[in-house]
Structure 1
Amino acid sequence: MTEVGMRRSSLSTMAFTSVLLFICSTYSCYAQAPLLMWTSEGSNMPHLAQPTAGQTVSGEQLASYLKSALSIAPHNVLLFLQDKLSMEDFTMYGGVFGNKQDSAFLNVESALQTSSNPLVLPALDWSASHSILELLQGELGIPAVQIDPSTLKEIKLNTAQPSLLAVHLPYTAGDQTKELLLKNDAIMGEVLDMFKSQDVPYTAVYTGLKPSRVIEDTPVMAGHSVGRSLLQAPPESPVKPPLVVNNTEGQPCILLWADTLLASYSGNQVDLARDIFNGSADVTAGSVCNETLSRLVLNYRNVLNFRSLQLIFSVRKIFFPVSARDWSVMEQVVLEYDGQRAIFNASGGIYSPAEYSFHCQSVSSAQSPLLVPRSATDNATMWTLSFTDFQIQGFSVTGEDFSYASDCAGFFTPGIWMGLLTSLLMVFILTYGLHMIMQVRTMDRFDDPKGPAISVPQSE
């Protein structure tokens, strides 16, 4: 390479570094992951306008970018999905941003520099990066193929048909981060070399499922003033969407959320909430909802040595004349497993106004039970149910967000009772003391010091 060419390459690298550093410094990076997209040498990709400083790219914007890019870019798409990735990983370990000799992204940086129009999104919303695989599958109209780097030599690519290959990359925070990034970069280099050896043009995407670093800082939204907050208070994690059941018209009618749905049988325990909040319609097959009854059915297979298991919540709308309003009352929680049934009555403690949702931090059939076996000889005595951060709404659902929650926690908690009793005791002591002080009387007659002294004769 001539001296002029080397100088131009150095200047382009410095310019690219400056742009990325400026963009990264102006982004808040709160719950965001970067995305890099480039094409093989000789392939073109349309010039996409970079988002303005401070803007977080949403899933809709990303879908628009992908649609524009894949209109002319190669349809052999290679997706590198890392468990966690943030712009700080590039600024700390990347040669494009620092010392070229100490880079953990040599292959990625080389591919970016040889690409005609690489796309760099420093601040992509974490939910958009999490759904990047689904977006690519939708644009290409083909399913993704998960590939193992150890089997690269066995893969034969067909340039006549589009392909979508996904490579999963791990991530570890701490002292081993740089070593792991070096290994990931080497894996990406091997995959890219495989495409080059077979002379297949490609479009590559590199992003993370989650941010590896989250700045503990709440971004300032338009129309909101900046206020003070406790330094000890961590930022709230993104709110996870509830499980949604639609009626026959396709409108949401039942919402459910729980951190855990623990079910124990004969000493074995399983969390039934682990895999149900992923939008799978098969999980809620058999659920029904109408104006007076909502029946939520959660279906499982091969759980606790049972071929099939169903967890059923029955919620009914009942009008109470005393309050002159409709109430949502959970009647039963039923477990159906391999032809047997275990029925728990809700004991009248799980209820809320019909237009509200019900929330309880702990719903259990063990301690302070809100769930009671129907009879002493019922199969329910062999089971133990325990739900944490449980919230359900079976009526008046207007979207995919819960209505105002009616909480199961009573107002007079043990702490409040202790405070009230202590306050009453202190008031009683103060009242008694004031009463005693008010009863003190002064003498109404005194001896005259100027008068004759009183003499008391003494007998011998």
Structure 2
Amino acid sequence: MAVARFSRALALSLALFHVFPPVNGDDQVPLVLWTSGGTSAPGQSAPPAGHIVEQQQLSSILEKALNLGPKNVVLFLQDKMSIEDFTVYGGAFGNKQDSVFPNLENALRSSSSSLVLPAVSWSSSNAVMAQIQDHLETAPLYLDPETLNQLRLNSSSAALLVFRLPYGNGADLMSAKEILSENDEVMGQVMGIMKTQAVPYTAIYTALRPSKGASAASWEAGVGGARSLLQARDKYRERDRERQRKVKERPGVYAPVEVKEGEDTCILLWARSLSVSILRGGRWEDHDLTPSTFGEGVSPRVHGSSCDRTRARLVLNYENVLGHRSFKLIFGMSQRHYKVSARRWFTLDSVELEYDGTKATFNGSRSIYAPAEYSYRCESVTNFRWPQLVPHSAKNPANQWRVSFQDFQIQGFNVSRAQFSYASDCAGFFSPGIWMGLMTSLLMVLVLTYGLHMILQLRTMDRFDDPKGPAISVPLTE
């Protein structure tokens, strides 16, 4: 059975890794290859347990599979993955019913051609998509199950379908287990759609880089030791607390505002300055919210905040702001899939000022957005002076307010280990310095062009004085 071979390969590899740990054990990722039910590809023998597959050997394996196998390739590309993800969560040891990969195991069971590579070098796994693309001579299509359901494939033409899968690398190991289970559900949906369309395919499941967090946890825990797993999890939590304590102790730097869902952080907010202003009697009255939000010993009240997979809401509660006894600063965010870009994006839909039963609402979805796995950062976010926030309507009380966020950064989705992800910056491509350089260069080009045009317009004389004629004499007078 394919699943049995899969489990035996993983078990033997992990056992050998325990006895003879590789020098660069964190630099390998597993790769699983199989064909759809009813199709076959050339049989390939799995490498010996403990052997690391390098790029040349992997290229030979992929070339052999693609030459004689189905030309439609489904690539499940996970952000991170290690062999321990299968041994800890996949039921390779202990109770098989606890596996989070039922769809993957069913696919291996129904496939007549499958191959499990427990250890592929990191650089080789990164080149998998490029190798498939060069072999099929087709561009990759980044999809999700919803988009794939609307796509009609042809078994006679080659296609490379790429499905990006996240990975939970937080301190809580349960978050990784849940995300791996969701990834397996996505693979099940994709394989179900391909089966409905009756299109044969070759499937590959691998990752861009190893999941060092899960690897380290598994070595500390030992396979099947729930108590050790909890101890390792506490170790990572303690390390995060120590990191946050050091950040708070640095002068001039403070930790971001966090909103937790259970033990996991789901919303992060940081700014050098948060301030609001209200128009009264023809003049603006300002109030700085920064000291009540950030800083050592400051614990902002965030009750009323919430977060899930599609929506996030951060509520900052204050007292006695500009004469209002109760004042709330609310950030509403959402994420959804956009078919044009074939990826998920999150937007800051609204910024609300709620005071004494009145709401002033600003819309930010047109200018404040980022990929769902990124954070958003901007040097200045305001509703005046190049505004990114605009009043929700002409009659909205927001017209009487000004908000200003300096060095603003926010993330409401896919937060990992209480740290901001890579920031999508609002800065435009053309900065003032670039514009000055472009204008100066354009002016110099115009001057040189005009000079060259003048030189080309020079003409030689077509008539000359006769040298044999009488010389011109000029009489001298005294």
TM-score of the pair, normalised by structure 1 = 0.46
TM-score of the pair, normalised by structure 2 = 0.44
